[in-house]
Amino acid sequence: METEVEKSTIRSIKKRKKIVLGIIISICTLLIIYFGMAIYFMNHFYFGSTINKISVSGKSVEAVNEQMASEIQKYKLNIKERGGTNEQISGKEIGLKYDMNVEFKDFKDKQNPYKWVSGVFNTKDSKMIVGVKYDKDLLKEQFDKLSCFDSSKVIEPKNAGYKYINNSYVIVDEVNGNKGNKDILYKDVIDAVSTGETTIDLDASNYYVKPQYTSKSPKVVATRDMLNKYVSSKITYTFGKDKEILDGSKINKWVTVDENSEVTFNEKEVEIYMDVLASEYNTVAKTRNFVSSSGKVINIGGGSYGWAINKVKEIQDLISIIKEGKSIEKEPAYYQTALYHGKDDIGKTYVEIDLSGQHLWFYKNGVLITQGDVVTGNDGSDKTRTPSGIYMINYKERNATLKGEGYASPVNYWLPFNGGIGIHDAGWRDKFGGVLYKTGGSHGCINSPYDVAKTVFDNIETGTPVVCY
């Protein structure tokens, strides 16, 4: 009778025999598979084999010959364009065929059937590129027919731009368009046909001409910020009680931005704006309604008195203010100022001279300070006639000598208001007024009695209006 130890030993021996038998069976199975596949690959291409990127996996040389002949016949190159448009160039249209200097059998013979296992991991002997032949003239002809070259359909790329809306500038997105580089595409087509590629995606290639600046370009963003700085400016011009407000609603029309996002300030438009201000608020030589001492309303134009904006300086000042994005209240720069703003810029302090009545009045703050008959320029000559108009006292001088052609006249009080024409005493005269000016008038000055000239001189300030009519 077997002991327990003997029974255990017998079971172990049986178990080892089963394991060894299993290993032998597995090895035999693997050998059968290996040699079976080796026999298969003696007449078939490795799995994963390609010719011109066309799969010939597991096929015989005969089958591949037929397949490749069929593939070359139905070859089409698909060109994917923007907007969902697709165009094709077919192999038939360009006389496409294989350059069979190397046969497919040679490719197959390089694949050792007994190394098929390593062929799964090493694709070196599993890929083949067969050269093709085509008619270059036919290819160029088909290429030139592509509708993407039709000028009527080509949309030019456009850089990001700017739009003024709701008191500020916003960036307008760039236009990608569909204009392309024909030379680049022609090279891509030749490469695709030569290697068997069936698709060219123009967006993925380098075909399309791109805008230089997009909405995200730092320069575009910086330009927008600069424009918004300009239109944030607010300039309030004051003309006495009147005001003129200049803000972004007008400023935005004075700036232009080119395709390269370069900003230009249109100084001509600024000049036009300044011309409008000057037309409205300049008063030099403008016709005024003047109420004379007799109570009659007289229309007087000409002369040098009044407001005159210094347009050249103010244009430059204004542009500088806008570029700094300031908001200020200011008077414009003036060549010349008057005593008061408004239509009645003469005010209540002035000298009034009636040329036909040969009389002078001087009012200060509405009060008559002095008056008297005078002798004005000789009416018989344009050179000596006293011109009408509204002028102002340029300066005051005591004990002056007035010089001219053939004369030198010393005076006690000299008040020039129109070049060499002014008010002064005339000690050489014993009569004033009447019609003396018609034949015995002055050289253009206002000859006044001594006391009248003295009173005016003692009470008048430089810049006081002189009204001659």
CATH number of domain containing 255: 3.10.20.800
pLDDT score recorded for residue 229: 97
- Same domain, yes or no: 66 and 195: yes
pLDDT score recorded for residue 293: 97
445 is catalytic: yes
- Same domain, yes or no: 190 and 255: no
Count of CA atoms in the C-beta half-sphere (13 A) of 152: 1
44, 148, 443, 445: the catalytic one is 445
Residues 6 or more apart whose Cβ sits within 8 Å of residue 131: 98, 99, 101, 194
The three-state DSSP-derived secondary structure of 123-181 is CHHHEECCCEECCHHHHHHHHHCCHHHCCCCCCCCECCEEEEECCEEEEECCECCCCEC
pLDDT score recorded for residue 2: 62
Any idea which residue has 């900003």 for tokens? 263
148, 424, 443, 468: the catalytic one is 424
- Give the residue, 117 or 275, on which the prediction is more confident: 275
- Same domain, yes or no: 52 and 199: yes
Residue range of the domain that includes 407: 350-468
Q: Are 306 and 285 in contact (CB under 8 A)?
A: yes
Separation of alpha carbons 346 and 465, rounded Å? 6
pLDDT score recorded for residue 182: 94
Separation of alpha carbons 356 and 433, rounded Å? 10
- Same domain, yes or no: 55 and 204: yes
Classify residue 17: in a domain, yes or no.
no
Residue type, 264: T
pLDDT score recorded for residue 102: 54
Count of CA atoms in the C-beta half-sphere (13 A) of 393: 24
Classify residue 392: in a domain, yes or no.
yes
424 is catalytic: yes
**Number of compact structural domains in the chain:** 3
Classify residue 318: in a domain, yes or no.
yes
- Same domain, yes or no: 56 and 203: yes
Torsion of Cα atoms, 310 then 313 then 318 then 319, to 10°? 140
Residues 372-430: pLDDT tens digits? 999 999 987 888 999 999 999 999 999 999 998 878 999 999 999 999 999 999 999 99
- Same domain, yes or no: 51 and 170: yes
- Give the residue, 275 or 34, on which the prediction is more confident: 275
